[in-house]
Amino acid sequence: MIGPAGNPIVSYSSSSPGHLLVARCNDPACAGHNEALSTPDPTANAGQETTIALGLDGSPVIAHWDGSNGDLRVTRPAIP
């Protein structure tokens, strides 16, 4: 997804134990290895099947599957 500043925001799952992760890129190509990273849901297996959209305030809204509890979750991460 492209954020309000024109740079990508990406939601994904860590390989193990499957935490929900979010990266906000500092430039359009995500170059430089200096992206803002966060773990908005550190529950194991909670970062499965992520999808991301922008809320009305420009913040990301992420829906993701918690495989450990069988729950669909919605998260609004605070990303610097």
Q: Residue 54: inside a domain, yes or no? A: yes
Neighbours of 78 (CB within 10 A): 9
Q: Residue 3: inside a domain, yes or no? A: no
Total structural domains in the chain? 1
Q: Residue 2: inside a domain, yes or no? A: no
β partners of residue 22: 11, 38
Burial 46-61 (b: 16+ CB within 10 A, else e): bbeebebeeeeeeebb
Rounded Cα distance, 67 and 77, in Å: 19
Q: Residue 28: inside a domain, yes or no? A: yes
Q: Residue 33: inside a domain, yes or no? A: yes
pLDDT in tens, 2-50: 888 889 999 988 877 888 888 889 999 989 888 888 888 887 788 888 9
What is the pTM for the complete model shown?
Answer: 0.80
Q: Residue 4: inside a domain, yes or no? A: no
26 token code pair: 């500092």
Containing structural domain, residue 59: 9-75
CA dihedral angle for residue 15, residue 19, residue 24, residue 30, rounded to 10 degrees: 0
Q: Residue 56: inside a domain, yes or no? A: yes
pLDDT in tens, 42-76: 877 888 889 999 888 888 899 998 888 888 999 88
Q: Work out whether the CA dihedral 9, 62, 59, 19 comes out positive or negative.
A: negative
